[in-house]
Amino acid sequence: MELRFYNTLTNTTEVFHPVHADCVRMYSCGPTVYDFAHIGNFRSFLFADVIRRTLEFFGHRVHHVMNITDVGHMTDDASADGGGEDKMQAAARRMKEDKKSGKVPEGAVQNPDDPYQIARYYTDAFLEDARTLGVKVASEYPENILHATQNIDAMLEMISQLIANGHAYVGPDGVVYYSVESFPAYGRLSGNTLDRLMTGAGGRISDENQANKRHPADFMLWKADSSHIMKWDSPWGAGYPGWHIECSCMARKRLGKDVIDIHTGGEDLIFPHHECEIAQTCGATGQETFARFWMHARFLLVEGEKMSKSKGNFYTVRDVLQGRVKDDKGQPTGVSVHPAVLRLELIKSHYRGNMNFTHKGLIDSAGAVKRLHDFRARLEAATGGQAEAVDLNYPILKDFAAALADDLNIAGALGVILPWAASTPTDPAAALGALNRMNEVLAIAPLQSAGAGQAGANDEQAEVQDLCRQLDDARKRKDFAAADSLRGQIQKRGYDVKTSPAGTIAEKRLA
RNA sequence: GGGGCGGUAGCCAAGUGGCUAAGGCAACGGAUUGCAAAUCCGUCACGCGAGGGUUCGACUCCCUCUCGCCCCUCCA
């Protein structure tokens, strides 16, 4: 089956073929570790994970690499002129407050003034969240998730190469800049060619720094700055690298080729970040192409609005899992969310459309996850867990595959799997085999990783079971007022109550 | 001003020139139940942002308009 992906570089949907036969090489822009990653970040990471799993589903070997941006960049004009406060310093300030207020556990970060400790803290949190949500590459840390701060040598090497090739220069301010005019293809990815760029339209460029550059769009590769919170020796003075150079270097270094297959990120990264990556990599390698396919996920809205801390609709992964999502009355639900539910919620709509994250959507996703879990349980009961291997010609699997092959049509794939999961397949062993294969991509039934936030579950279960026994007693006595009250108590704790002649069972709601 | 992406029922979301416009949730009717939940059966867009055009025929192609989102040196 032919795989087709939409390519930002050409603005068309193209048939995918790997550049090199041995495996597919893909690189995903990962998180900055100055704070917890939020669900919008994770939409993008999960999007990359679905690409990777889809490729594997179709039999490709995939080498997936992601970066961790742990260099402190400036809050203003990070790549252009390095003005403003450093993000690591801002994080340190916040961290001290959080330590005081107890938000950061005692001992988690010994010294907030050490940027490496802050980076470590948020890196660990990111990896934990990513594993919880089934992001495959997170289980390949550290070999396939690279820290910018551990790859400074590669950056210095590439910068030297760029200077030697005439693509970079040292400005009067001592800063090494990339010369966009030396790279005719600049603007091809984003459409922001030099003649069309409206300099300063974003309102974030200061004039004094622009004066040092040959062209207003030239961007920083290295800045000597002895006062910077993180700095390294270089031929251009002790300082720190520009924002874009880390991805160019780490992709090339870890994937081992000058031309890779797929590069992913959020839509905001198209310009300038990815445009600059292309200029750097191609400038250094002399190749015409850096990544064959550039794929971008659109933004996530929360309840129809941009996510922002001031609007109170800003959620991290742990906020959602621990029941801090607000319901339609604006109150946190207090009901913990199963990781598979959040994973499904963040992958279920097409990546090229905006996604609206809502409490209602989360409940919907919980229903779908539950149906798939129940379906699996039925198939396992019928087969003793013995699945029969099936190939892509198996009817349901074929339709599922066709949807995925068509530019990752997850919603279409769910349209195939959900009605099937309500049916009773004539051959449960083959059906279980098919479900297993589909779950290689979806990873929701089950989600392989152990769920986070399940601590204390045993105590609660025992209490709930006790309430169920009391409820059964009350029903036997025909004391229905007491029975209804007990049922209400169990439901309040986030359980569904199932009554049957065999006795009452409470099932934890997934969201 | 420039470069892109999207607008399908109450909500989420497929389809993309031609059978009656997938699927899920919600809702409603029924079976079941002490009443519920769960489950099962059934109902649920004469319509695809608006208006034109092409066509025997368009949600699907073309044009205009409109709304939303991203970017034009913080950003997933």
DSSP A276: H
Strand B, CB < 7 A, residues 352-391 of A: 352-356, 358, 360-361, 363-364, 367-368, 370-371
- pLDDT tens digits for A15-33? 999 999 999 999 999 999 9
Side-chain half-sphere CA neighbours of A94 within 13 A: 12
Distance, CA of A271 to CA of A228 (rounded, Å): 26
Domain boundaries, chain A: 4-296, 301-442, 458-508
What's the mean per-residue pLDDT of chain A?
A: 89
Does A83 score more than 60 pLDDT?
no
Does A289 score more than 50 pLDDT?
yes
Q: Given this structure, which CATH class describes domain A301-442? A: mainly alpha
Strand B closer than 7 A to residue A422 Cβ: yes
Which residue approaches B23 most closely, CA to C1'?
A415
Nucleotide nearest to A420 (CA to C1'): B23
Distance, CA of A60 to CA of A53 (rounded, Å): 9
Does A453 score more than 50 pLDDT?
no
- pLDDT tens digits for A290-346? 999 999 999 898 888 888 777 778 899 999 999 999 887 788 888 889 999 999 999
- pLDDT tens digits for A297-312? 998 988 888 887 777 7
Model confidence at A77, pLDDT cuts 50, 70, 90, reads very low
Residues 6 or more apart whose CB falls under 8 angstroms from that of A152 comprise A232, A241
If one compares A466 and A1, the residue with the highest pLDDT of the two is A466
What pLDDT was estimated at residue A204? 55
Strand B closer than 7 A to residue A217 Cβ: yes
From the CA of A113, how many Å to the C1' of B76?
Answer: 27
Domain A4-296 in CATH 3.40.50.620: yes
Residue A135: closest CA among A56, A65, A48, A69: A48
Residue A276: closest CA among A175, A214, A189: A189
- pLDDT tens digits for A379-410? 998 999 899 999 998 888 998 999 999 899 99
- pLDDT tens digits for A255-282? 999 999 999 999 999 999 999 999 999 9
Distance, CA of A434 to CA of A255 (rounded, Å): 32
Rounded to the nearest 10 degrees, how much is the dihedral formed by the CA atoms of A174, A251, A407, A302?
A: -60
Q: What is the ipTM of this complex?
A: 0.90
Q: What percent of chain A has pLDDT over 90?
A: 60
Q: What percent of chain A has pLDDT over 70?
A: 94
Helix (H) or strand (E) holding A437: helix A428-442
- pLDDT tens digits for A204-228? 555 666 778 899 899 999 999 888 8
From the CA of A54, how many Å to the C1' of B11?
Answer: 28
Strand B closer than 7 A to residue A419 Cβ: yes
What pLDDT was estimated at residue A328? 76
What pLDDT was estimated at residue A79? 42
Q: What is the mean pLDDT of residues A136-147?
A: 96
What DSSP string runs through A136-167?
Answer: GGGGGTTTSEEEGGG-HHHHHHHHHHHHHTTS
Peptide bond preceding A105 in cis form (omega within 30 of 0):
no
Does A85 score more than 80 pLDDT?
no
